[in-house]
Structure 1
Amino acid sequence: MPVESDSGLADVFDLDSVAVVGCSSTPGKAAHDIPRYLREHGYDVIPVNPFADEIFGRTAYDSLSGVEEDVDVVDVFRPSEEVAGIVDEAIDRGDVQVVWLQLDITDDKAAARAEDAGLRVVQDKCMKVEHRRLTA
């Protein structure tokens, strides 16, 4: 069952590293501004974007499986159709604790698979909105 309670969401914000799949290098896009907000609030944001070499002064990885650092949370800014593959990569890594699907992104089957593998899942919620709401 996806994380929906305030206490469950707050637990996610106690984690440190966030790999942002679909992170954008373009200011003004949600996939850039939300990760920037997370960085400004102390999170270790790891950009994943095969079309960028660097975002926020950090190496941008081509895929989640290529990320060399430990990852606590995978924040997804990709279409719902791509979630299944991202979840597979998250499960295979072995270090991911949470898969967070941004607004309007859902995949119930992939979410169930992630949960069966012991990961927590948040669907169709914005990390920035929820962080602001719970930490204000």
Structure 2
Amino acid sequence: MRSAQQLLADANVIAVVGASREPYKPSHTVPLQMLRHGWRIIPVNPFVDEIFGVPTVPTLADLTEPVDLVTIFRPSRDAVEIVRQAAAIKAPAVWLQSGIASTEAKRIAEEAGMDYVQDRCMAVERAVAQLTKLP
């Protein structure tokens, strides 16, 4: 099982389930920060056509390319189904953002051989990684 820091270091393409176009929401600001720091972001949102100037896909099943990581900005009750979808597309890892956790989703991810992080902010982990690289 890779650590949160290692998942970010290894990832290039991140699917963001629940990405929002509302600039006051973490589901907008966190993926935008990741985009600005070099990750390729694919927003997954069935209600809008584009976020951050990037075309959205309605579901993980609609992705046309592999992703390195699926991050989830949906309520904990939705995590089980989203992790099942991530397993179906053979995503190597899933990340549930701060405040989102699910024992059942974790079990599904582990059974599928996926790395799993829950209740942690990707942007905070990125910032910590940057700080630990300072001389």
Question: How many residues were matched structurally?
Answer: 130
Distance 1:56 1:68 in 2: 19
Q: Which amino acid is 2:102 matched to?
A: D
Query: For residues 13-24 of structure 1, what are the structure 2 equivalents within 5 Å?
Result: 13-14=8-9, 15-24=11-20
Matches within 5 A, 1:25-64: 25-64=21-60
Out of 82, 94, 99, which is 1:99 matched to?
A: 94
Query: Structure 2: how far apart are the matches of 1:131 and 1:47?
Result: 19
Gaps of 5+ in 2: none
Matched with 2:78 is: 82
Once residues 99 and 28 of structure 2 are traced to their aligned partners in structure 1, the CA distance between those partners, rounded to angstroms, is 17
Counterpart-to-counterpart distance in 2, 1:10 and 1:80:
22
Q: Which runs of 4+ in 1 moved over 6 A?
A: none
Aligned to 1:109: 104
> Take 1:26 and 1:109, find their aligned partners in 2: how far apart are those partners?
29
Alpha-carbon distance, 1:69 to partner:
2.1
Letter of the aligned partner of 1:74 in structure 2?
V
In 2, Cα distance between equivalents of 1:57 and 1:49: 14
The RMSD of aligned alpha carbons is: 1.2
Residues of 2 paired with 1:116 and 1:135: CA distance?
32
Matched residues, percent identical?
A: 39
Q: Structure 1 regions of 5+ residues with no counterpart?
A: none
1:13 counterpart SS class: helix
Find the aligned partners of 1:135 and 1:73 in 2 and give their Cα distance.
20
Alignment-derived partner of residue 72 in structure 1:
68
